Amino acid sequence: MSTEAVIPDFPFLAYTEALTGMTVRGGHTLTRATAANIVALARPARRVGPTQGLTTAATLHVGYTRSHASIKQLWLAWYYRPDIDPFATPPTITLTTTIRDDVGNTITSSSSIIPPGFDGATLAGGGSTYDYDTSVNVGGFGFVDLDAAAAILAGSSWAFQFDWTRSGGSVSLDRIEGWECPRSQVDDSDDYGALTGPVNPGNPVLAGSTTTTGYERIAQTVAGAILAGRTLLSVAWPTDAAIAPGLVSASFVPFTRMLEGGATPWSWRVRPRVVYAPSSATGEPHRVRYLYQVTGGGTGVIRCTATSTGAGSVTTCDATGLTSATWAWSAWVSTTIPTDGTGRIVSLTFTGKTTAGTLSVAAIEVEEYQ
């Protein structure tokens, strides 16, 4: 095993360096290895949440998929707003975390994989220093060892369940958030990461393989950089039909509590990467899934519509056959998201319909899917 630090400065990549007939020099391999390492290891973009705030005890579910096996840690933190009465007996608060995959495996809150503060420990929810204090306090933070979690969660799609409780008072959950941690080290025993030392001048550029040195290893790391896609949207509501957005229409309409005003669905503005194709109306591959339930025996459909700002290019995808009467994750639905908008900005909106009863949604996850 050999290691070296990730060089944090993104190198200048000249198009003319790739012209046919030019001599390959050490600088060419060094810059490409450095660039591939930064995107594959130092700039992971998968995240969890952030969730909305809660003023009462509730359960939130947030989806997550790991970029790739060379990303080793997921950072998590949660925050609360203390009881506004500094003279009252501090209420107690807890956050209990369970992680599940899409094939039925579970990590419970008692596991050492769950960070302190996320394990259901009882905390004091006081902390106000004056009446109507608006400060935000840290409830807990820590790291999830992704290799240890993956040894239990064999499925590729994970979901975090956060159960938040309070004993009373006005203490409230402000938010839960998390993101993959960037790597500061290249290790040739990992799936991705190109050591720059072996590609210095004097070494054959074709030496090695996808697992050791040379251009093949750089190409392998570029593949890891492509896999390090973005979580475009990660949002959750309490799994309570009285609070979660819902609808009762047999034709496509916006969800309640997901409206900008009147009958206009709320827009989430995101910025997809350009990976393979130039900026275009077709755009890049992505996928979406939902935590949903259908009461009343109906069959639901949820539609995601992506509209590029300025250009107005539109793509849609439907999650169909939604019949679970209890909260359940839908299957992933593949789509493309346009990249021809002004600044590549895209608006995502969600509508739905059901043949009977009420269709509710408690979480949405949209991610790049190269």
Q: So where are the chain's domains?
A: 3-43+183-227, 47-180, 232-368
Q: What is the pLDDT of residue 148?
A: 98
Confidence of residue 10 (pLDDT cuts 50, 70, 90): confident
State which H helix or E strand residue 280 sits in: none
Q: What is the pLDDT of residue 66?
A: 96
Percentage of the chain surpassing pLDDT 90?
65
For domain 232-368, say whether CATH 1.10.3470 is its number: no
For domain 47-180, say whether CATH 1.10.287 is its number: no
How far is C-alpha 23 from the geometric centre of its chain's CA atoms?
Answer: 42
Do residues 238 and 60 touch, judged by C-beta distance below 8 A?
A: yes
pLDDT in tens, 142-187: 999 999 999 999 999 999 999 999 998 888 899 999 999 999 999 8
Q: What is the pLDDT of residue 28?
A: 72
Q: Between these two residues, 70 and 126, which has the higher pLDDT value?
A: 70
Residue 224 is classified by DSSP as: H
pLDDT in tens, 288-315: 999 999 999 999 999 999 999 999 999 9
Distance CA 332, CA 218 (A): 31
Mean pLDDT of 131-141: 81
Confidence of residue 344 (pLDDT cuts 50, 70, 90): very high
Distance CA 185, CA 144 (A): 18
Q: What is the pLDDT of residue 302?
A: 98
Residue 195 is classified by DSSP as: -
Confidence of residue 23 (pLDDT cuts 50, 70, 90): low
- The reply to whether 47-180 and 232-368 are identical in fold is yes
Q: What is the pLDDT of residue 343?
A: 92
Is the pLDDT at 68 greater than 60, yes or no?
yes
pLDDT in tens, 246-261: 999 999 999 999 998 8
Is the pLDDT at 27 greater than 80, yes or no?
no
Q: Please give the mean pLDDT across all residues of the chain.
A: 89
Q: Measured between alpha carbons, how far is residue 73 from residues 147, 274, 277 in Å?
A: 8, 26, 31
Is the pLDDT at 67 greater than 70, yes or no?
yes
Confidence of residue 129 (pLDDT cuts 50, 70, 90): low
pLDDT in tens, 192-226: 998 887 766 655 556 566 667 777 888 899 999 99
Confidence of residue 84 (pLDDT cuts 50, 70, 90): confident
In one letter, which amino acid is 224?
G
Do residues 365 and 234 touch, judged by C-beta distance below 8 A?
A: yes
